[in-house]
Every structure is written in structure tokens, then in C-alpha cells.
Chains A and B, each alone.
Chain A
């Protein structure tokens, strides 16, 4: 390549490279350095793995960590179970205008911020909220019921805020499934479940995986939903990171936590791809 051409290429790439370096690479390098420094006395730090040791020594930390990962997987599964019928309906049974409308309906909740959406759920679920009042007025419950501040409330909130990110890739991949494939599945003696398990789901695997990866990452890194809906019982790892950074002023431990979260989420995504024999390129790059 001629030198002017190369120069032009570098100039073209420089905004992206600067962006990547300044906002992604440097902060991560900084985080690694922070995570590997131990406090000796005020304003004196030295290199060491003490922060990581602290994570494994304190049951609370790895318990929260494990719970967050497990809960994120559960939320991803729940999102999939809710999103799949929706996506199937949109992709296979709807046509034209109705299809676009259904898509927009899925998108609608995302026109407001996550915080507002979560506050909406609080209004619905709190003890003096809409659901509780409705049940009481209908005589189904004898008194007011508190639906907030438990794992189910967190799950509802997480599934709700992740739904779109599962529905879109699922619709895209189900759209490419030839209807005659489904008919052939029935024609050869399969019932609805057989067709779903043997044909529809295997075909949708790349979509399922890309949706799951996005939802899992979003859930794992979510802060607002678990803390607000979970209240006194939320116990979410990002909350720990926030606490270490903001209320404990312990940036070293917070950085170590951040790195652990990054490693865990990357590891789980990698394992998911390996187990399903897909490559990141085919799943995300479609």
C-alpha cells in the first residue's frame, strides 16, 4: 500500500482507536493496577493479590457473586421462556402491519429510562400499590400484600427490562425458518412438541444464544432493578462494587470485584458457546 493510503487509513481509524484506547483499554488497565494494589497505611499502597484473597476469604462476597451469576442465568432462562412464544407468534403467525405493530409494542417500554420503568413496577407491586389494591377490592386477598423486596420481584423486573433483547434476535432467526420445514415436521408424524424441540429450537440456536448472551450480560451488570425491586433483600454483585467504590472508598477491592465479574461473565459466555458448538462470529455477527 502506498504511504499516503496508509496515512489516510490511520487518520480514518484514529477516532475509533482513540475512543477504544481512552475509554475502554485505559480504564481497564487502571482497574487491573488498582485491583493489584494493597493498602498499607494512608496514601501508601503496594503490589499484591490481597484484594482477590479478600474476596475468597469473605463468604459474603463470593456468596453474593455466586447468587448474582446464578440469578442472572435464571433470569436469562425466564426471559427466553417468555420471549420465545412471543417471538414465534410475531415471526411465524403475524403478517405485514400487525407484525410491525407488535414489534413496536415490544419496543415501547424502552422509550423511557430503566429507572422510570422500575419505578413503574414499584407503583404496581408495593403494598399500597395497584396489584395489591386490586386483589383486595376483588376480595381475593383478605388484606394488603407486599409484592416488593423479594427475589420474584427482582426476576419480574429483570425479565421485563431484558425482553426486547431476547425477542429481536429470536424473531430474526425464526423469520429465516421456512414454514415448510415446520409443516414437514408435522407431516412426518411429529406433534407440536417434537417440531419445537427437533426443528424450531435447533434452527433458532444462534438467535437464542445471541439473545441469551446479551440478556445475561445486561442482567449481570444491572444495578437499578435489583436494588430498587429487591430492596432489603436485593444482594446483587454490582451493588457490592458500587458500595466498595462509593460508600467504602475501597477502590482497590471494587476494582478486584469488577475484574472478577468481567472474567466470570466472559467465561460463562465462552462456556455457553462451547457447549452449543457455536462461534461468537456466527452468533453475534449475523
Chain B
């Protein structure tokens, strides 16, 4: 058994340039053995480039990649102890399910009988017993997903890379597969590195998530940390839903900044990192952190208080929200609709009060 502090994947100062564009810019991180690690970022952030360097399909310009303590940077893809699940799975349509799974074992010259046994075991494990002789085109989307995973896992890789494999599935199945993937990973204990642009996938499944933007990691942390303690303006804006304003710091005291937004609104917010008066900042407040009230009294004790008019109610069961407009705001503010009888009759046009504490609003120095 590997020791507890052994790291299965370690990336050191990895950089990749395409012409004058830096796709991956001096990225370093470690992924602990047996964990589910996600790299979350918008398309074009460099996450696919990073993954392809780990798999060996791209050569890095500088930096190094270690798996189980050994550098794999110079190895061809077929010699890396790493396996990849492709976005569209890349199952071989000219082979049966069993042949697909046996492909890698055959390359390792495993004995025929053992191949058959391991294919059967693996199919049982992913919940497709007896499917070995089926053709790929006879499988449903979820089944294909499992075959692709079985095909990689049967090789017992140190590391499994997953390139948004759920992207092609419909919503219901995607929700289901999220849970299934997480359970599977917990069961077999292989390190998963999962890249996605879908924050929900990353938050639900991962032990740790790295948020990537413009070739760099903005923050690495547990899903909770990213959500509640975003380290940068980008993370705050990208992970979860947020209301955001741009503004300038007026005064700062005890970690609380007084800010004037570009539209002339006064706000109090917690300063994330050192900020001085006059600094340009971005302020974020999550919809669920905003207190929605019909009376002034209810929000009396809060640092930030506003009056607004309901512009629209977005009903979505427990996730219902309200868009509240105020002449002083550039855009309406999104507020989570409390599930109480008082707000059941809330309609567009109703005057409401909004309020939140300075502790719930986070302000970050804006990058110029």
C-alpha cells in the first residue's frame, strides 16, 4: 500500500505555448493518492492542454510531471501509467465491448484466459455483466460511459484522466452519472483527475478542485472552500452564482471596506487581501446571502440595505429566485426566494427590501 503522504501526481512549473499564446502558464500542483481532483475552468482556459500534456499527447515547453514519484515527462503516451477517458469516449466501434476492454491487456501480452477473466470481472464491476459480446452501437449513453471507464480501469492505471466525459449525456443521466462516478472512484481508489467547465460536476464529485483561468490556477481547494472562501475575484464569480459590482475603495478599517460602485452606490464588504483606499475592486454577494424582506424592520441590523422592485420571479422549486431592480444598479440583483408562505404571493412589481452583512459581501482587488 502506498504511504499516506505519497503523491500520485505532481506537476511542477508546467508551461506550454502555442505561437505567442501561453496556454498553460507555470502551473504547479499535487494530487494526493486516491483522491478525486477536478480542474474547473471556462473553455479556452488551458485545462485541456494541461490534461493532454499529462496524458502525453502534447510535449510541455518546460516543467515536469511526476506520477508515483517518477517523472513521466519524456515518455510516449503508451508508456505512461496514466489512462484517459475521452470527451466522446473514443470507444472502438469495430470491436465488441469485450474486445474494447481487452485491447489494453492484449497490448501488455496478458495471457488469453486471464484477459477473459479480467474483462468479465471488470464488466461486473461497472454493472454490465454479460455485455462482452455486444456491439458498441447497441449500448446506451450511460453504458458506453461505463465501458470506457472499464476499458481504462482494467489496466489498473496509477491515474485516470477524464476529459468532460459527461458532456454528451442528457441532464437526467448526467446527474445520475455524477453520483455513480464518485461512488466508483471511492470504491476502486484510483486517483481521478477530471476536467470540466461545469462547476456542478466539479463541486459534487471532487475532493479538491482547481479553478483555472487564462493558463493559471486561481485557487485549489475543497468545493466548500472555493464556494465560501474564494481567493480571487474570478473564483468568486465563476464558482456558484454571485451578484457582482465594480467599484472603488473609499475607506478601509478592520478588514471591512467601504466602497462606492461605478454607479454611485455605497457598499460595505469584507476585504479579501490587502487593499488600500482608492483601489479598484470587484464586490460579490451570493443570492442566498441576501436577506429578502417586505418591511424595513426586518433588515434593520444589516450593513447593506436597499429598496427595490421585483422585476421577475424565476420559479424553480427549492432553487427559485427573484430578480430585484433598483434605479441605482446597472443590473438587477438575484436573490434566493425563501421557501416561506410569506413570499408565495410575491409578484413582479412588488416593493421589497434587501439587506446583507459586510461579512457576506467579499471584495477583491480587480486586475487591471
Contacts of A187 in B (CB 8 A): 55-56, 77-78, 82-84
CA distance A186 to B107 in the complex (A): 10
CA distance A8 to B286 in the complex (A): 71
Nearest residue (CB) in B for A202 is B94
In the complex, which range does the number of interface residues on chain A fall in? 10 to 19
Q: With a 10 A CB-CB cut-off, give which of A185, A187, A199, A203 has the most chain B CB atoms.
A: A187
Partner of A188, one of B56, B57, B103: B103
Q: A179-214, CB under 8 A of B: which get 1 and which 0?
A: 011011111111100100011001101000000000
A199 & B92 in contact (Cβ 8 Å cutoff) = yes
Asked whether B88 is an interface residue with its Cβ less than 8 Å from the other chain, the reply is yes
A189 & B88 in contact (Cβ 8 Å cutoff) = no
Report A205 CB to chain B, min CB distance, Å. Answer: 8
Report A248 CB to chain B, min CB distance, Å. Answer: 51
A180 & B88 in contact (Cβ 8 Å cutoff) = yes
Partner of A181, one of B78, B90, B107, B151: B90
Contacts of B86 in A (CB 8 A): 180, 183-184
Given contacts A189-B107, A190-B103, contact A180 B90 (CB under 8 A): yes
Asked whether B108 is an interface residue with its Cβ less than 8 Å from the other chain, the reply is yes
Asked whether A178 is an interface residue with its Cβ less than 8 Å from the other chain, the reply is yes
Contacts of B84 in A (CB 8 A): 183-184, 187
Contacts of B83 in A (CB 8 A): 187-188
Contacts of B77 in A (CB 8 A): 183, 186-187
Report A64 CB to chain B, min CB distance, Å. Answer: 39
Q: B72-101, CB under 8 A of A: which get 1 and which 0?
A: 000011100011101110101111000000
Partner of B90, one of A183, A190, A191, A198: A183
Contacts of A202 in B (CB 8 A): 92, 94-95
B88 & A178 in contact (Cβ 8 Å cutoff) = yes
Asked whether B155 is an interface residue with its Cβ less than 8 Å from the other chain, the reply is yes
Q: With a 10 A CB-CB cut-off, give which of B82, B83, B103 has the most chain A CB atoms.
A: B103
Q: Please give the number of chain B residues whose Cβ is less than 8 angstroms from any Cβ of chain A in the complex.
A: 24
CA distance A191 to B76 in the complex (A): 9
CA distance A184 to B87 in the complex (A): 11
Contacts of B93 in A (CB 8 A): 203
A186 & B92 in contact (Cβ 8 Å cutoff) = no
B88 & A190 in contact (Cβ 8 Å cutoff) = no
Contacts of A188 in B (CB 8 A): 78, 83, 103-104, 107, 151-152, 155
CA distance A187 to B107 in the complex (A): 11
B78 & A198 in contact (Cβ 8 Å cutoff) = no
Contacts of A178 in B (CB 8 A): 88, 90
Contacts of A185 in B (CB 8 A): 92, 103
- B143-177: which residues lie under 8 A (CB-CB) from chain A? 151-152, 155
Nearest residue (CB) in B for A190 is B107
Report A168 CB to chain B, min CB distance, Å. Answer: 22
CA distance A194 to B155 in the complex (A): 16
CA distance A281 to B45 in the complex (A): 45
B90 & A189 in contact (Cβ 8 Å cutoff) = no
Nearest residue (CB) in B for A184 is B90
Report A271 CB to chain B, min CB distance, Å. Answer: 21
Partner of A198, one of B82, B103, B108: B103
Contacts of B155 in A (CB 8 A): 188-189
Q: B206-222, CB under 8 A of A: which get 1 and which 0?
A: 00000000000000000
Q: With a 10 A CB-CB cut-off, give which of A181, A184, A186, A203 has the most chain B CB atoms.
A: A184
CA distance A205 to B78 in the complex (A): 25
A183 & B92 in contact (Cβ 8 Å cutoff) = no
Nearest residue (CB) in A for B104 is A188
Contacts of B94 in A (CB 8 A): 199, 202-203, 205
Contacts of A181 in B (CB 8 A): 90, 92
Contacts of A180 in B (CB 8 A): 86-88, 90
Nearest residue (CB) in A for B52 is A183
Partner of A194, one of B55, B87, B88, B107: B107
A191 & B78 in contact (Cβ 8 Å cutoff) = yes
Contacts of A191 in B (CB 8 A): 78, 107
Contacts of A184 in B (CB 8 A): 84, 86, 90, 92
A-B pairs with beta carbons under 8 Å apart, 12 shown: A180-B86, A181-B90, A183-B55, A183-B90, A184-B84, A185-B103, A186-B77, A189-B78, A189-B108, A198-B92, A199-B94, A202-B92
Q: A198-B95, A202-B95 are in contact. List 19 more A-B contacts (CB 8 A).
A: A178-B88, A180-B88, A181-B90, A181-B92, A183-B57, A184-B86, A184-B90, A185-B103, A187-B78, A187-B82, A187-B83, A188-B155, A189-B78, A189-B107, A189-B108, A190-B103, A194-B107, A202-B92, A205-B94
- The 6 A-B pairs at the shortest CB distance, nearest first, are namely A188-B104, A184-B90, A189-B107, A180-B90, A202-B94, A186-B77
